[in-house]
Amino acid sequence: MTDSTTRALRLGTRRSKLAMAQSGQVAEAVRELTGRPVDLVEITTYGDTSREHLAQIGGTGVFVSALRDALLAGEIDFAVHSLKDLPTAQPETLTLAAIPVREDPRDALIARDGLRFEQLPDGARVGTGSPRRMAQLNAWARSLGRRVETVPIRGNIDTRIGFVEKGELDAVVLAAAGLTRIGRIDEATQLLSPDVVLPAPGQGALAIECAAVNADLIARLAELDDPDTRAAVTAERSLLAALEAGCSAPVGALADLSPSSRLRASRGGPKADEQAVTELHLRGVVGTTDGSTLVQMSTTGHVPASPDDVSTPLNMGRELAAEMLAKGAAGLMGERAL
Ligand SMILES: NCc1[nH]cc(CCC(=O)O)c1CC(=O)O
Give the whole-number percent of the chain exceeding pLDDT 90.
Answer: 78
* More confident position, 55 or 293: 293
Phi, then psi, of 72 in degrees rounded to 5: -70, -30
3-state secondary structure of 133: helix
Q: Is 102 marked active-site?
A: no
Gyration radius of the chain over CA positions: 21
Active site residue 166: no
* Mean pLDDT, rounded, for 296-309: 86
Ligand 1 mutation target, pool 17, 18, 156, most atoms within 8 A of CB: 18
Residue 266 has pLDDT above 80, yes or no: no
51 has a pLDDT exceeding 60: no
Q: Evaluate whether 205 touches 99 at the Cβ level (below 8 Å).
A: yes
Q: Is 160 a catalytic residue?
A: yes
Q: Report how far ligand 1's centroid is from the alpha carbon of 118 (Å).
A: 24
In this prediction, residues 61-71 reach a mean pLDDT of: 87
Write down the pLDDT at residue 249. 81
Predicted local confidence at residue 275, as pLDDT = 58
Lowest mean pLDDT among 85-89, 162-166, 198-202: 85-89
3-state secondary structure of 129: coil
Indicate if the pLDDT at residue 251 is higher than 80.
yes
Task: Reply yes or no on whether the pLDDT at 219 is more than 50.
Answer: yes
**Which ligand 1 atom sits closest to the C-alpha of 200?**
10
Q: For ligand 1, atom 11, which residue shows the shortest CA distance? A: 204
What span, in angstroms and rounded, lies between the C-alpha atoms of 178 and 107? Answer: 10
177 lines ligand 1 (CB under 6 A): yes
> For position 16, what pLDDT does the model report?
92
Asked if the ipTM is above 0.90, the reply is yes
Domains in the chain, please, with CATH?
Answer: 9-100+205-225 (3.40.190.10), 107-191 (3.40.190.10), 228-331 (3.30.160.40)
What is the pLDDT at residue 198?
98
Catalytic residue selected from 31, 147, 154, 336: 154
Q: Is 193 helix (H, G, I), strand (E, B) or coil?
A: coil
Average confidence score pLDDT of the chain: 89
Give the start-end residues of each E strand in the chain. 9-13, 38-42, 78-82, 94-98, 107-111, 124-127, 148-151, 171-175, 190-191, 206-211, 251-257, 262-264, 275-287, 294-304
Q: 84: Cβ below 6 Å to ligand 1?
A: yes
- Determine the average pLDDT of the residues in 216-220: 97
Is 84 assigned a catalytic role? yes
Q: What is the pTM of this model?
A: 0.90
| Centroid of ligand 1 to alpha carbon of 127 (angstroms) | 14
125 is catalytic: no
CA of 23 to the centre of ligand 1 (A): 14
Told to judge if 327 belongs to the known catalytic residues of this protein, a careful annotator would answer no
Active site residue 264: no
CA dihedral 89, 72, 177, 262 (to 10 degrees): 60
| Whether residue 139 has its Cβ less than 6 Å from ligand 1 | no
Q: Is pLDDT at 104 greater than 70 in this prediction?
A: yes
Q: Which helix (H) or strand (E) holds 178?
A: helix 176-181
| d(C-alpha 244, C-alpha 30), whole Å | 34
Centroid of ligand 1 to alpha carbon of 178 (angstroms): 6
Q: Check residue 257 and give left, alpha or beta (phi > 0: left; psi -120 to 50: alpha).
A: beta
Name the band, by pLDDT with cuts 50, 70 and 90, for residue 241: very high
Mean pLDDT of 175-184: 98
**298: phi then psi, degrees, rounded to nearest 5:** -145, 165
pLDDT band at 331 (very low <50, low <70, confident <90, very high): confident
Ligand 1 geometric centre to CA of 321 (Å): 23
Give the model's confidence band at 52: pLDDT under 50 very low, under 70 low, under 90 confident, else very high: low
